[in-house]
Amino acid sequence: MKTSPFLCLAFAAAALVGCTREPATEDTQETAPDPRVAEIHETSVFVDMHAHPSRFHRANVESISAEEIEVYRKSYMDIAVANISSDMAYDGRYTKRDGTVVEGGKYKPERGEVYALAADRLARAMKTIELGYAVHADSPAAVLRARERGEVAVLPALEGADALEGDVENLYRMYDNGLRLIQLVHFRNNELGHMQTWPYSPGGLTEFGREVVKEANRLGLIIDMAHSNHETMMDILEASEHPVLFSHGGVREFTDHDRAVNDDEIRAIAANGGVVGIWPHGRHLSDVAEMVDYIEHVIKVGGIDHVGIGSDLRGISTYVVGFDEDAKFHAVAAELLNREYSSEDVGKVMGGNFFRVWVAVALAKN
Ligand SMILES: [Zn+2]
């Protein structure tokens, strides 16, 4: 199934400069066991569609650390989607700048507080760029330029749009401050829609949710449906003019876990042109081979153009064997190669599919 253009063509369509890349440095060769992966990276952008590097979303860190960016660079990853869980204003488990630990619990934040907490975390993500550890994934073109210099790009994201507090002006403010992806729902039924996990409740996208989808389309912000219940997902797919992601989770075929997508959902996301991200979650999956079984299931049901990787790095406590704490993304590529996927197909899974979606979303910006 070779339905999508080669990445170079996508680049050309975006009126970008090209997709050549400097040869890998000695340092990166040392840390990547399979040289075939480095070769694939020459022609494909590698993307972690969902992560919390350095736990910047909850820990009291100034920025994502240079060491954490190095974790990505060693595995040839070009983009780390860095997520702020903005529902933490309601359930705690974070540390403030003054060192105060907010324990897990139930909180009733004041108006403005949810936005302010997320804005502070966004500033920390952007500080990573100010410090020169990474570049801002401002646009697909900016990422391609960064690749040529061997730099990693951080793409700031909201995990749960609770931070908007029901006001679209807050979306504009966050966009202006660097936000480039918005996951509408997290662990709370919020102003936009309903969640995938217990306590379940019926209902889909709200009026405000529809307004945010429309404005995200207009701004060129990527939409992520992870953590949305079935009705909310179907409503987002209907409302969005552009492809969307389901950035991180498993597949129902192999697990009853809430955070997995069923075959109907995979088909619907694929029909919309979007991407399903499989995670290396150590509590639900055993090793990289099993993770690739999940990826293969999405390929079987939705096609090679509709799957990717969302690590949830530093958002979960344990990772599959072979991916591990040091996030060996390249092991996933190597396993796909061992199963005789072509270089082009491996490139799509490693991030080419995400990048195609982003180019489409960004080109439609007006
Ligand atoms: Zn999540």
Per-residue buried b or exposed e for 155-192, using 16+ beta carbons within 10 Å of the residue's own CB: bbbbbbbbbbbbeeebbebbbeebbbbbbbbbbbbbbb
- Distance from Cα 99 to the centre of ligand 1, integer Å: 25
Structural domain includes residue 284: yes
- Pick the closest to residue 19 from 139, 134, 145 (CA basis): 145
Tracing tokens 């082009």 back to the chain, one arrives at 344
Q: How many domains does the chain have?
A: 1
Taking residue 283's Cβ as centre, other Cβ atoms within 10 Å add up to: 10
Q: Could you tell me whether strands 94-95 and 101-102 are parallel, antiparallel, or unpaired per DSSP bridges?
A: antiparallel
Structural domain includes residue 1: no
Structural domain includes residue 286: yes
φ/ψ of residue 282, rounded to 5 = -70, -15
- Distance from Cα 187 to the centre of ligand 1, integer Å: 8
- CATH code at 147? 3.20.20.140
Taking residue 328's Cβ as centre, other Cβ atoms within 10 Å add up to: 22
pLDDT recorded at residue 285: 96
- Distance from Cα 70 to the centre of ligand 1, integer Å: 23
- Pick the closest to residue 190 from 174, 209, 213 (CA basis): 209
Structural domain includes residue 327: yes
User: What CA–CA distance (Å, rounded) separates 332 from 295?
Assistant: 10
Taking residue 149's Cβ as centre, other Cβ atoms within 10 Å add up to: 9
DSSP of 113-175: HHHHHHHHHHHHHHHHHHTTSSEE--SHHHHHHHHHTT--EEEEEEESGGGGTT-HHHHHHHH
Structural domain includes residue 185: yes
Q: Over the chain (366 residues), what is each successive 10-residue block's mean pLDDT?
A: 40 40 42 82 97 97 98 96 96 96 97 97 98 98 96 98 98 98 97 96 97 98 98 98 98 95 98 98 97 98 98 96 96 97 98 98 88
Structural domain includes residue 106: yes
pLDDT recorded at residue 19: 42
On whether the CB atoms of residues 208 and 107 are closer than 8 A, the answer is no
Residue 188 is part of which domain span? 7-363
Structural domain includes residue 40: yes
Question: SS3 for 6?
Answer: coil
Enumerate residues 6+ apart whose C-beta is below 8 A from 70: none
pLDDT recorded at residue 33: 64
- Distance from Cα 44 to the centre of ligand 1, integer Å: 25
pLDDT recorded at residue 304: 98
- Distance from Cα 186 to the centre of ligand 1, integer Å: 7
- Distance from Cα 269 to the centre of ligand 1, integer Å: 18
- Distance from Cα 138 to the centre of ligand 1, integer Å: 22
For the purposes of burial, counting CB atoms within 10 Å of the CB of 289, is it exposed (0-12), middle (13-18) or buried (19 or more)? middle
- Distance from Cα 93 to the centre of ligand 1, integer Å: 15
pLDDT recorded at residue 274: 98
- Distance from Cα 159 to the centre of ligand 1, integer Å: 7
On whether the CB atoms of residues 363 and 17 are closer than 8 A, the answer is no
pLDDT recorded at residue 2: 37
On whether the CB atoms of residues 278 and 310 are closer than 8 A, the answer is yes
- Distance from Cα 198 to the centre of ligand 1, integer Å: 14
pLDDT recorded at residue 364: 86
- Distance from Cα 227 to the centre of ligand 1, integer Å: 7
Structural domain includes residue 2: no
- Distance from Cα 248 to the centre of ligand 1, integer Å: 7
Residue 247: its H or E element:
strand 245-251
